[in-house]
Amino acid sequence: MKILVADKISPKGVAYLRQQTGFEVIEAYGSSPEQVLELVKDVHAIAVRSETKITRAVLEAAPLLKVVGRAGVGVDNVDVDAATERGVVVMNTPAGNTVATAELTFTHILCGARPVAQAAASMRAGQWDRKSFSGIELFKKTLGVVGLGRIGGEVAKRAQAFGMRVLAYDPYLSPARAKAMQVEPVTLDELLAQSDYITVHMPMTDDTHHMIDEAAFEKCKKGLRIFNCARGGIIKETALIAALKSGKVAAAGLDVFEDEPLAKDSELRSLPNVVLTPHLGASTTEAQEAVGIEVAEQIADLLVSGAVRNAVNLPSVDAATAKLLAPYIDLGTKLGTLVQQIASQQVATLRITYAGKIVDLDANAITRSIERGFLRRISEDVNTVNAPFVLQRLGIQAEVVKSNSPCDYAELITVEAVTGSGEVFRASGTLIGKTNEPRIVSINGREVEVAAEGKLLVLENLDQPGMVGAVGTLLGKDKVNIADMSLSRLTPGGTAYMVVRVDTEPSEAARKEIKGNPAIKQAKFVQL
């Protein structure tokens, strides 16, 4: 079997592949897109970093291709959807750069406290200026860590070694996990108000984009020092520039930017109190060696034994079983995503209950799809393989129940998110018709009937006349088309549920107006 190493990975990784019986390894670094199209015609695996683009055209030109291995976390250079369509497994190596990125973050924190980079530049210019480069200490200061995943956790450990108080904002961090890590869980507003230093370690999502903006800086202490080695765009750059100029922010360190490479005329380059690095998070010898070896081992395992590790697009099952389970996996993913968006943020247990004919199936792949669905808006590197470990890292216990109790459907999947105080958020779904279309049939104990796809408005409102018209009119005014609607209530005059499937996302103003209606107790916009 041929393996194309399209980008330069660790020589130890290449050597590992060459040592495997029956492998022919082709090293073709720096190939043009046209050359890649020619090289992939008879390869079974491709190893890349971030340079080579694995496009739909590349995948279509590679009929024997089984796996694309990315030596690193992000798979932006791989068309994952096209790979999935063609049955190609896409793997990444999410753990290899953890320490490297944490250490770079802490390097930025130290440079923010003591202006080493600026002082070094002054010395090179022939100056001896001690007065201009006075700094502050880390000892007994407060560090706010926004996002306590793998990298955020490693940064917290290093801060504690420097005698810092560590605050953590992570909506999905359980109290037990926070206690074990010796950090103080707080709200984002509390973290902004109390921190002397802030570092962000969140994935880039709709919720985290510009999380730190003008309003956030207003809540911070004067003289804050802030750092981003995660993803560009979490900190709004225009807001940061203004805060640096005003003195609200005393220093900043950035390894990532909203647009990369950073424009030559970016104002960030001219500010004296900013240290900039060109996206070096994983750029250490050890990290590159680790991900190179890891991707080589994963590719070999799949080609030799069919074992799948760190796949970002497929469950770990054989092809025949995957075909059988495909509609259940689709339903499970959407139920997990739905429950995550309607649930409280402090989830302690994710409970999955199977009922009806589905209990006779091996539901492991379905369970993984539900877990991935629950996590996919929380963690950027989650997949069906590592989802249980991400849940464990967040302190969320997973429970699976196969119920023999009678149910109203031939088969039913129920997903429940249970908080530490016992509050339960749940959704149930089933498959209907000859085409096995996924349907949501219950949300928080209310019977509904809605297709499990697209965009949903989930409303809990007082059961009174005019509510359907009021919501419909408001959406119409916002030019949002209603695809279908399901209504449910327990008792007349009590509370009712309205689930509205829409073609487009309502504007922020429309959502605010909906939530402002005194008859609407709760409103959630859900994207499946």
Among 464, 447, 437, smallest CA distance to 521 is for 464
Residue owning tokens 């393996």: 3
Residues in contact with 302: Cβ distance below 8 Å, sequence separation at least 6, in sequence order: 45, 66, 67, 89, 91, 308, 309
Residue 248 DSSP label: S
Whether residue 327 is preceded by a cis peptide bond, meaning omega within 30 degrees of 0, is no
Distance (Å, rounded) from C-alpha 169 to C-alpha 485? 36
Q: Which of 41, 2, 67, 47 is nearest to 306 (CA)?
A: 67
CA neighbor of 516 nearest in space, from 463, 484, 472, 471: 471
| Residue 417 to residue 398: CA distance in whole angstroms | 10
| Residues linked to residue 45 through DSSP beta bridges, in sequence order | 3, 67
Task: Tell me whether residue 137 is exposed, middle or buried, using C-beta atoms within 10 angstroms of its C-beta: 0 to 12, 13 to 18, 19 or more.
Answer: exposed
Cα distance between residue 260 and residue 410, in whole Å: 51
Which residues are catalytically annotated? 231, 260, 279
Give the HSE-up count for residue 73: Cα atoms under 13 Å, Cβ half-sphere: 21
Residues in CB range of 267: below 8 A, 6 or more apart? 241
> Encoding tokens for residue 443?
């949300």
User: Which residue's entry shows tokens 């018209």?
Assistant: 469
Question: Half-sphere exposure (CA, 13 Å, Cβ side) for 504?
Answer: 10
